[in-house]
């Protein structure tokens, strides 16, 4: 079937419907924790809106951005790294991240989702940055980005070096302040970083740990109008939070979207200071 404009839209619409179906299936358990029907509908509406928004941006500029980004990467060196880890299973030591086209697409979607393709230059910190693809894309869109990661994966070490990303070694840990950086940030991100279940996978963070992290971020790392965007791991029961944690997040934010924990305004977290006095 030739890829005419009409066919392109047909495929996109199919994909949107499939993603909405799976997206809603994934957050069904979270939605069941919400008694307020209006809020449930609002969340579903935002999910659909964001999916459509990102798809539209993808249609208008993805190919151009992807090609320009690829031109900035030393593909010979990249292939050497791919070859070196070729025999290691994709889920072992993060070697699946050597599939550059898939991960560039995923990270471009994240940047579009956060409007980074059209915003003024921002200072961004990406926790658990892994290979550094998201950071690289932020740089491409003209932002200053800093990565932080525990740095225990040789694949990520090589990729982040190849991509020229500035990285600090460090971990997000319960009740432990984050390191100080030379600059304040407009945006803090973390995608699929299991910091909230680091010590024991059966024990995930509760309100106290989250409160400490969010207040620390707001008071010590972010600018006054700084934003926080976390893309969470599922908990063991398939939900992203329990009822108490959900209520805590909702008290600060009504743009909760299942796996996405997005605080567009963080001033409320400044109420309690855990700063460097």
By CB under 6 A, name the binding residues for ligand SAM: 127-130, 133, 149-150, 152-153, 156, 171-172, 191-195, 198
User: Where does the chain show beta strands of DSSP type E?
Assistant: 123-127, 144-149, 167-169, 185-191, 222-231, 260-263
d(CA 94, CA 154): 9
Residue nearest to ligand SAM (CB): 130
CA angle 67/130/196 to nearest 5° reads 135
Q: Among residues 34 and 150, whose Cβ is nearest to ligand SAM?
A: 150
Q: Whole-number minimum distance, CB 91 to ligand SAM, in Å?
A: 10
Q: Give the SS3 label for residue 99.
A: coil
Q: Whole-number minimum distance, CB 32 to ligand SAM, in Å?
A: 27
Q: Among residues 150 and 250, whose Cβ is nearest to ligand SAM?
A: 150
Residues 6+ apart with CB under 8 A from 234: 26, 240, 259
Q: Among residues 197 and 265, whose Cβ is nearest to ligand SAM?
A: 197
Long-range contacts of 250-253 (CB under 8 A, 24+ apart): 250/39, 252/214
Q: Whole-number minimum distance, CB 236 to ligand SAM, in Å?
A: 16
Q: Among residues 44 and 150, whose Cβ is nearest to ligand SAM?
A: 150
Q: Among residues 73 and 171, whose Cβ is nearest to ligand SAM?
A: 171
How many CB atoms neighbour CB 47 within 10 A? Answer: 20
Q: Among residues 205 and 241, whose Cβ is nearest to ligand SAM?
A: 205
Ramachandran angles phi, psi of 214, nearest 5°: -65, -40
Q: Among residues 39 and 150, whose Cβ is nearest to ligand SAM?
A: 150
Measured over the CA atoms of residue 171, residue 177, residue 178 and residue 180, the dihedral's sign is negative
Ramachandran angles phi, psi of 89, nearest 5°: -55, 145
How many CB atoms neighbour CB 276 within 10 A? Answer: 8
Q: Whole-number minimum distance, CB 172 to ligand SAM, in Å?
A: 4
Q: Whole-number minimum distance, CB 33 to ligand SAM, in Å?
A: 25
Q: Whole-number minimum distance, CB 126 to ligand SAM, in Å?
A: 7
Q: Give the SS3 label for residue 227.
A: strand
Q: Whole-number minimum distance, CB 16 to ligand SAM, in Å?
A: 22
């Amino acid at each position: 079937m030739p890829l005419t404009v009409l066919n392109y839209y047909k495929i996109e619409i199919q994909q949107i419907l499939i993603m909405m179906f799976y997206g809603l299936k994934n957050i069904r358990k979270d939605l069941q924790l919400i008694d307020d029907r209006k809020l449930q509908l609002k969340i579903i509406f935002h999910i659909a809106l964001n999916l459509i928004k990102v798809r539209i941006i993808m249609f208008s500029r993805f190919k151009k951005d992807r090609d320009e980004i690829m031109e900035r990467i030393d593909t010979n060196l990249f292939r050497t790294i791919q070859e070196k880890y070729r025999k290691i299973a994709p889920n072992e030591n993060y070697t699946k991240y050597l599939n550059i086209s898939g991960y560039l697409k995923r990270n471009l979607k994240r940047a579009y989702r956060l409007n980074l393709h059209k915003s003024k230059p921002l200072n961004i910190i990406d926790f658990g940055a892994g290979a550094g693809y998201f950071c690289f894309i932020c740089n491409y869109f003209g932002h200053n980005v800093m990565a932080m990661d525990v740095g225990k994966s040789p694949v990520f070490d090589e990729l982040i070096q190849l991509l020229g990303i500035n990285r600090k070694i460090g971990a997000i840990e319960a009740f432990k302040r984050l390191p100080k950086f030379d600059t304040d940030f407009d945006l803090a991100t973390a995608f699929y970083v299991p910091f909230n279940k680091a010590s024991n996978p059966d024990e995930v963070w509760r309100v106290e740990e989250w409160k400490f992290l969010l207040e620390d971020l707001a008071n010590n790392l972010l600018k006054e109008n700084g934003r926080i965007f976390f893309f969470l791991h599922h908990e063991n029961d398939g939900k992203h939070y329990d009822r108490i944690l959900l209520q805590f997040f909702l008290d600060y934010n009504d743009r909760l979207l299942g796996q996405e924990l997005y605080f567009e305004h963080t001033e409320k977290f400044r109420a309690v200071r855990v700063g460097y006095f």
